[in-house]
């Protein structure tokens, strides 16, 4: 039988998240939602008290908390404001592929980036013509020399306007369907990356949702244009 009795540490963390939501989020949630304003001050405070990046292992600077503890934090922050809570927790989605399939070099650099400063990352999968039908994506990644060149557009990307890097899914083998899709880490400042459009939503307006596109996503480094983090478990 699975025991969901909370430990004292989990209770303390839940209380911390609840107090943060009570004092820092709920009093301003309506204003942020009404104005569709980015909650940078809240992001900074949440990072400072340790309520972000709870999924990142200790060896990369994170707390390495278990999934249940992470759920407790997300539940409380979402109670404060679902939009702000979404923005605060989105790093978990973007960094999961890196944690699962990235090289040690990539993990240290990109996961470490999130724990060293209050930075954000975005998960780029959905496209204008490929949402739930992931295998229908049109974004491609072609290797040229020691670089990958990625071409495509991703839409409905949470934190897209404010992310320091993106986990981008692209087809490396068009004939292989979903098995021909690979994941890449793309820095925000890579040549050709463009934030095209910020969505004006009906709800969760404090959560930034944007369209990201490029005709050529390249890395400023000679080693690779987009650090490939393929893992057999994705395919």
pLDDT in tens, 44-75: 999 999 999 999 999 999 999 999 999 999 99
Residue 133: the pLDDT is 84
Q: How confident is the model at residue 223 (pLDDT cuts 50, 70, 90)?
A: very low
Per-residue pLDDT at 30? 97
Taking the CB of residue 205, how many other CB atoms lie within 10 A of it? 18
Q: According to the model, what pLDDT value does residue 220 have?
A: 34
pLDDT band at 24 (very low <50, low <70, confident <90, very high): very high
User: What pLDDT, on a 0 to 100 scale, did the predictor assign at position 196?
Assistant: 87
Q: Which CATH architecture has domain 121-234?
A: Beta Barrel (2.40)
The pLDDT-based confidence of 226 (bands split at 50, 70, 90) is very low
Domain boundaries, the chain: 8-116, 121-234
Structure tokens at 207: 């959560």
Please state which CATH class domain 8-116 belongs to. mainly alpha
pLDDT per residue as tens digits for the range 192-212: 899 988 999 999 999 999 999
CA distance 179 to 177: 5
Interatomic CA distance for residues 178 and 173, integer angstroms: 9
**Greater pLDDT, 1 or 4:** 4
| Confidence check: pLDDT of 88 > 60 | yes
pTM beyond 0.85, yes or no: yes
Tokens standing for residue 134: 């992931």
pLDDT of residue 234: 27
What CA–CA distance (Å, rounded) separates 235 from 232? 5
């Amino acid at each position: 039988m699975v025991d969901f009795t909370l430990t004292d540490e989990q209770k303390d963390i839940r209380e911390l998240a609840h107090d943060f939501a009570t004092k820092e989020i709920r009093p301003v949630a309506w204003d942020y939602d009404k104005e569709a304003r980015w909650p940078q001050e809240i992001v900074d405070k949440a990072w400072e008290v340790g309520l972000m990046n709870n999924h990142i292992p200790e060896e990369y600077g994170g707390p390495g908390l278990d999934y249940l503890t992470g759920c407790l934090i997300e539940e409380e922050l979402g109670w404060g404001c679902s939009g702000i809570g979404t923005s605060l927790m989105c790093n978990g989605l973007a960094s999961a592929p890196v944690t699962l399939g990235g090289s040690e070099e990539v993990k240290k650099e990109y996961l470490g980036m999130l724990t060293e400063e209050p930075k954000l990352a975005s998960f780029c999968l959905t496209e204008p013509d490929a949402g739930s039908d992931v295998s229908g994506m049109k974004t491609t990644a072609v290797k040229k020399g020691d670089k990958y060149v990625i071409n495509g557009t991703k839409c409905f990307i949470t934190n897209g306007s404010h992310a320091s890097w993106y986990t981008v899914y692209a087809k490396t083998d068009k004939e292989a369907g979903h098995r021909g899709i690979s994941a890449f880490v793309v820095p925000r400042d890579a040549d050709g990356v463009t934030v095209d459009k910020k969505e004006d939503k009906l709800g969760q307006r404090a959560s930034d949702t944007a369209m990201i596109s490029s005709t050529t996503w390249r890395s400023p480094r000679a080693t690779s244009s987009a650090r490939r983090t393929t893992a057999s478990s994705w395919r």
